């Protein structure tokens, strides 16, 4: 029997809500999956794309990812993956770099056999290029009793689908026992043409609409030819507190604040959603209350279509001088005299853009010699 962890949509590097802590959360969630893989001694970790949130991950995120993948390598657990739409580059992929380091294998038309299961890969393909796909895969090796396709995209019959799963299965040159997918952050499983097709979901909440617990799939390719898919949650992910408020016509901010106070908000991401009638609400006041009660992040989503009470009044709008605003912010940062000089050089209107770099380099050299 071959037992693997099927994960994906880890979105490492995503600084959600502009919060550095949330950025670290996405890396920590991936680490939790890998620690489970080592503890359970699975045969492989299969990643179905969007390891990173974008194609230019930061150095800290790259270093953290390499460290996590080394944990798998030290435990002799292969990491097999495809490229998702968020991280896809025109040239070599980050996954290729990890492969060169001996930390990962990029799946493709040639099978990678783990125990008695052959894994194939299909990277994310834009909709405009899918008509040219032939779904030609190398033949199933003699030592493999199962075949699984790993891919990234929105496949039928799941939500937001734009990729015909039946076409993929019917035109593929290999008969797959399972299709392990990424891209849809909601976990789900369906039987398509007698083949199990499953999404593992994301490992961290990438949007406020992802209310269910995060986790991954455990997939067993049994000796009797059957495929078993089970779900395992990640209890250590950042807590999200969802406060849903239905306001009556005579209710306002007091009612919303009352509902917020009913929850333990310590270190949580708090999402307040307002429906119903009621009076207009100032989101900043609600968010400030949640932060004062220990929330890491607070956001208010007012779904009501409220009339503009001042729509008939004349409104005067003025804008501050942006240069003055920047100078004020620079003063607040408490920079050294040297840093202030370099800032002035960069923003000077008397210096041609083409000369800025040379001027800054000369000034830095001068400062180093002082």
Q: Which residues are catalytic?
A: 86
Which residues, in sequence order, are CB contacts of 341 under 8 Å at separation 6+?
363
Q: Which of 305, 244, 293 is nearest to 272 (CA)?
A: 244
In whole angstroms, how far apart are CA 65 and each of 17, 58, 135? 22, 11, 31
Strands 146-152, 297-302: pairing is: unpaired
Please tell me whether 53 is known to bind a ligand.
no
Q: State the pairing for strand pair 2-7/215-221.
A: antiparallel
146 labelled ligand-binding: no
47 is in an annotated binding site: no
**Contact by Cβ (8 Å): 31, 224:** no
Q: Is 217 annotated as a binding residue?
A: no
Alpha carbons 123 and 14: distance in angstroms, whole number: 21
Residues 6+ apart with CB under 8 A from 63: none
Here the tokens at position 218 are 């455990």
Q: Measure the CA angle with vertex 232, ends 228 and 233; round to 5°.
A: 160
Binding residues for Mn(2+): 9, 11, 50, 85, 152, 185
Binding residues: 9, 11, 50, 85, 152, 185
């Amino acid at each position: 029997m071959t037992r693997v962890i099927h994960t994906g949509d880890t979105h490492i590097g995503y600084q959600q809500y502009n919060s550095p802590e949330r950025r670290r959360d996405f890396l920590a969630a991936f680490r939790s999956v890998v620690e489970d893989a080592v503890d359970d001694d699975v045969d492989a970790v299969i990643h179905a794309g969007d390891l990173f949130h974008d194609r230019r991950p930061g150095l800290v995120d790259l270093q953290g990812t390499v460290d996590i993948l080394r944990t798998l390598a030290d435990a002799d657990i292969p990491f097999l993956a495809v490229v998702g739409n968020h991280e896809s580059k025109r040239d070599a992929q980050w996954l290729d770099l990890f492969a060169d380091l001996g930390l990962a294998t990029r799946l493709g038309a040639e099978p990678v056999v783990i125990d008695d299961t052959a894994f194939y890969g299909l990277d994310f393909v834009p909709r405009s290029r899918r008509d040219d796909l032939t779904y030609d895969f190398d033949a199933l090796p003699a030592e493999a009793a199962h075949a699984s396709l790993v891919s990234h995209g929105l496949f039928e019959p799941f939500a937001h689908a734009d990729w015909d799963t039946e076409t993929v299965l019917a035109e593929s040159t290999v008969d797959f026992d399972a299709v392990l997918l990424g891209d849809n952050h909601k976990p789900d499983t369906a039987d398509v043409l007698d083949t199990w097709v499953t999404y593992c979901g994301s490992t961290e909440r990438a949007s406020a609409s992802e209310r269910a617990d995060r986790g991954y799939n455990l997939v067993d390719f049994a000796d009797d030819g059957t495929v078993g898919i089970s779900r395992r949650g990640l209890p250590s992910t950042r807590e999200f507190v969802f406060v849903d408020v239905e306001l009556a016509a005579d209710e306002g901010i007091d009612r919303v604040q009352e509902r917020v106070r009913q929850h333990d908000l310590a270190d949580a991401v708090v999402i307040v959603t307002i429906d119903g009638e009621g009076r207009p609400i100032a989101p900043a006041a609600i968010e400030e209350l949640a932060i004062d009660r220990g929330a890491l992040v607070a956001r208010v989503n007012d779904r009501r279509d409220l009339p503009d009470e001042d729509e008939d009044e004349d409104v005067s709008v003025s804008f501050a001088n942006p240069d003055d605003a920047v100078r004020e912010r620079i003063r607040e940062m408490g920079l050294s005299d040297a840093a202030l000089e370099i800032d002035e050089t960069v923003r000077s209107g008397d210096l041609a853009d083409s000369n800025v770099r040379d001027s800054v380099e000369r000034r830095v050299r001068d400062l180093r010699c002082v």
